Structure 1
Amino acid sequence: MICIDLEASGLARESYPIEVAWKCTESGASDTFLINPGTVGGWDYWDECAEELHGIEPELLAQEGISADAACSRLNAALAGRDVISDALEYDGFWLRRLFRACDVEPGFLLVGLEAVLSTEERIQYQFIARAQFRRHRALQDVNDLISAITAARSECGG
């Protein structure tokens, strides 16, 4: 199972991805990186409320972020041909589409929701577990929490 999480500049239609993390439960392989929005024309929307949640400042993105092209290449190289699980399919899908379209590249992996790995009962249990996890949002911690919540939901429901 591979899980992914993205942090973004906000939740508006003008928002874009600023951090990506993924982890594979079978191999333990993982990756996390920041994306420099300055490498894509028009990526200038910034929501200070979103910054309060993830704690990532625009200056950090400019200093440590990789280009959007490098982000697409890195994701495709690592996740090619795999189903990748998101617990926020609508949002993460939106930001991944923005990233790949900005680079005129197709993703080499398929983003899927929790229904790909959890039954309806397990998804309800997952929601209870996930709501109890309030903290600053960073992509790698969110991926680890996602994996823990999926595992706990399966265990609670006898899966």
Structure 2
Amino acid sequence: MTETLPTLLDIEASGFGRGSYPIEVGIARSDGSRCALLIRPQQEWTHWDTKAEQLHGISRARLEREGQSVRQVAGWLNDELGGLGKVYSDSWGFDNTWLALLFHHAGMLPAFRLEALHLLLSEAQLALWNQTREALMAERGIQRHRAGDDARLLQLTYAYTLRLTTAR
């Protein structure tokens, strides 16, 4: 039997709190593949937290050079995720806010709904979550705080904790 994985979305941002905005969005598809796009900041998006930059390693200059427009990123997300209905995030409060900001500035509506990942998890999975995630990061050398890698790490952690809890 082939396991169907949930599609996960992760967003990296300019910082946290008022004035922050999305700078990278990544997805891990149900087949396990992942991809991410950098987002070119809107002119009015000026908040920049150097501590956040130290975590994700993405400079504002790089976003200006390599980032896609908010319209391109929102269109890509709708193309990728529109037929799925729901996608999941482990930081729903932050990611949903940044996603809404992205789509607002793109002048578009999302063709999918973002849900909290914890809605899919059993208590047994939650109990194993942090330990499993840490083990997977070490084993696979996954770089944290990049949107595509973080989305895939969440997906792998989901799959491993599901197997561990259903194998009992």
TM-score, normalised with respect to structure 1 = 0.89
Aligned to 1:144: 152
1:22-55, Cα deviation, whole Å (9 max, x unpaired) = 12123x4543110000xx2421100000000000
Off by >2 Å, runs of 4+ in structure 1: 28-31, 127-136
- Counterpart AA for 1:147: Q
Q: Map residues 2-151 of structure 1 onto 2, 5 A cutoff.
A: 2-26=7-31, 28-37=32-41, 40-82=42-84, 83-130=86-133, 133=137, 136-151=144-159
Structure 1 residues 55-79: Cα deviation after superposition (integer angstroms, max 9, x where no partner)? 0001110110000111111101111
What SS is found at the alignment partner of 2:26? Answer: strand
More divergent stretch after superposition (75-84 vs 122-131): 122-131
Aligned residues of 1:126 and 1:152 also touching (Cα < 8 A): no
CA distance, structure 1, for counterparts of residue 162 and residue 18 of structure 2: 34
| Cα distance in 2, alignment partners of residues 144 and 52 from structure 1 | 21
In the alignment, is the contact (CA less than 8 A) between 1:16 and 1:43 conserved in 2? yes
Aligned to 2:161: 153
Q: Could you say what secondary structure the match of 1:42 adopts? A: coil
Letter in 2 for 1:79: L
Q: Are the aligned partners of 1:55 and 1:136 in contact in 2 as well (CA < 8 Å)?
A: no
Q: Percent identity?
A: 35
Gaps of 5+ in 1: none
Q: Which moved more, 1:66-75 or 1:99-108?
A: 99-108
Determine helix, strand or coil for the equivalent of 2:36: strand
TM-score with structure 2 setting the length: 0.84
Shift of 1:136: 4.0
Could you tell me whether the CA contact under 8 Å between 2:144 and 2:150 is conserved in 1? no
